[in-house]
């Protein structure tokens, strides 16, 4: 097997253009599991975790540009956690400290698992994924990148360079249901973000559909039932809000849960996130 180490994004573009069958290795937390279980045939690997540009992030006005090799460890605390609290909350729920030291935001997006915990947060925030190859750069919505269960729309010679995440003014929540609190793949998850300036709430669900799931109707409905000056919610709106969130889910039965339980829990998570962010109106 060829094992190559890319030193820059230009180098990576060149190595992929020469042979697009080469596979990218970032933190290896998904990749190596598949190799060890012989679920992945590999003839050539390019390690990307030493590319400095991919390991950096920067705050650019009203957004943060996060390199694809930024790890959960860096997202879960420090300035990134202040700028994008729901992303930090979600990072803190992922695996163990060892997994969070190695696993990257780019790997989570490229793996495209319905249970990928970065995905609902990035969807709710309307993040843009920047993908690159020798032929140029494209910007995709998370829902355009992730096309189904573990499938993405990257071209053979493309890689995820970075993710542009809007920085919003307003509280955010990420909640996850699993059989225990740590080291758990989500049975369901929910991200709720607020934009006080636009008086809008973004909601996305995890593990309830093949591709990223925004609860658009619930977002429109509940945004109109908030007093944005006082940050309160009308109590009479909560039941309908929960139903709209449940209706937006399209879960399956699998070894982790029944579809009925998944549908039930996203409603609970929606109510809980809402009431953590907004007080009930008297
Ligand atoms: C014990 C354990 C617990 C876990 N718990 C969770 C959890 O709770 N929640 C959760 O969401 N995930 C969890 N995971 C999954 C995993 O940690 C994440 O999906 C991780 O983000 C993958 O990132 P990575 O850098 O390790 O990617 P890698 O394993 O290196 O790569 C994964 C895939 O993405 C591709 N890839 C990587 N980077 C790029 C890029 N920049 N451009 C294009 N393609 C790329 C690779 O070619 C490969 O196909 C767990 C994994 C383990 C082993």
For ligand 1, mutation pick of 95, 112, 118 (most atoms within 8 Å of CB): 95
Tens digits of residue pLDDT in 47-99: 999 999 999 999 998 999 999 999 999 999 999 999 999 999 999 999 999 99
CA distance 6 to 262: 41
Q: What is the pLDDT of residue 170?
A: 97
Nearest CA to ligand 1 atom 41: 160
Same fold, 2-166 and 172-280: no
Q: In Å, what is the CA distance from 240 to each residue of 47, 159, 208, 243, 266? A: 48, 41, 19, 5, 13
Looking at the predicted structure, is the pLDDT value of residue 165 above 90?
A: yes
Q: Identify the helix (H) or strand (E) that includes residue 122.
A: helix 118-125
When the pLDDT of each residue in the chain is averaged and rounded to a whole number, the result is 97
Tens digits of residue pLDDT in 172-183: 999 999 998 888
CA distance 84 to 79: 9
Shortest CA distance to 19 belongs to which of 220, 144, 156?
156
69: which 2 tokens?
């090799």
CA 230 / ligand 1 centre spacing (Å): 40
Q: What is the pLDDT of residue 154?
A: 98
CA distance 118 to 87: 7
Q: What is the pLDDT of residue 138?
A: 98
Q: Where are the domains of the chain?
A: 2-166, 172-280
**Topology adopted by domain 172-280:** Enolase-like; domain 1 (3.30.390)
Looking at the predicted structure, is the pLDDT value of residue 16 above 90?
A: yes
Tens digits of residue pLDDT in 100-142: 999 999 999 999 999 999 999 999 999 999 999 999 999 999 9
**2-166 CATH:** 3.30.465.10
Nearest CA to ligand 1 atom 43: 159
Nearest CA to ligand 1 atom 46: 24
Alpha helices in 146-215 (DSSP H): none
119: which 2 tokens?
């995905």
Nearest CA to ligand 1 atom 3: 95
CA distance 130 to 58: 14
Q: What is the pLDDT of residue 181?
A: 81
Looking at the predicted structure, is the pLDDT value of residue 1 above 90?
A: no
């Amino acid at each position: 097997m060829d094992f190559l180490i890319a030193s820059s994004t230009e180098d990576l573009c060149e190595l992929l253009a020469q042979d697009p069958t080469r596979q990218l290795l970032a933190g290896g937390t998904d990749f190596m599991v598949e190799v060890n279980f012989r679920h992945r045939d590999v003839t050539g690997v390019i390690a990307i975790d030493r590319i400095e540009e991919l390991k950096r992030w920067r705050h650019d006005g009203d957004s943060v540009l996060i390199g694809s090799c930024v790890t959960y460890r860096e997202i879960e605390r420090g300035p990134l956690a202040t700028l994008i609290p729901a992303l930090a909350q979600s990072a803190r729920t992922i695996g163990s400290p060892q997994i969070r030291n190695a696993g990257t935001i780019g790997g989570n997006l490229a793996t495209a698992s319905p249970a990928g915990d970065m995905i609902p947060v990035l969807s709710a925030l309307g993040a843009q994924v920047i993908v690159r190859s020798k032929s140029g750069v494209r910007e995709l919505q998370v829902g355009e990148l992730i096309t189904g269960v573990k499938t993405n729309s990257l071209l053979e010679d493309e890689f995820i360079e970075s993710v542009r995440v809007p920085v919003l003014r307003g509280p955010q929540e990420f909640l996850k249901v699993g059989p225990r609190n740590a080291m758990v793949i989500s049975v369901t998850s929910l991200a709720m973000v607020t934009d006080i300036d636009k008086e809008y709430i973004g909601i996305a669900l995890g593990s309830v559909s093949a591709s990223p799931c925004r609860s658009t109707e619930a977002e429109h409905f509940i945004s109109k039932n908030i007093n944005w000056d006082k940050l309160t919610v009308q109590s009479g709106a909560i039941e309908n809000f929960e139903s709209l969130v449940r209706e937006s889910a399209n879960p399956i039965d699998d070894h982790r849960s029944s579809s009925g339980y998944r549908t039930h829990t996203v409603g609970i998570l929606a109510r809980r996130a809402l009431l953590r962010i907004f007080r009930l109106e008297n």
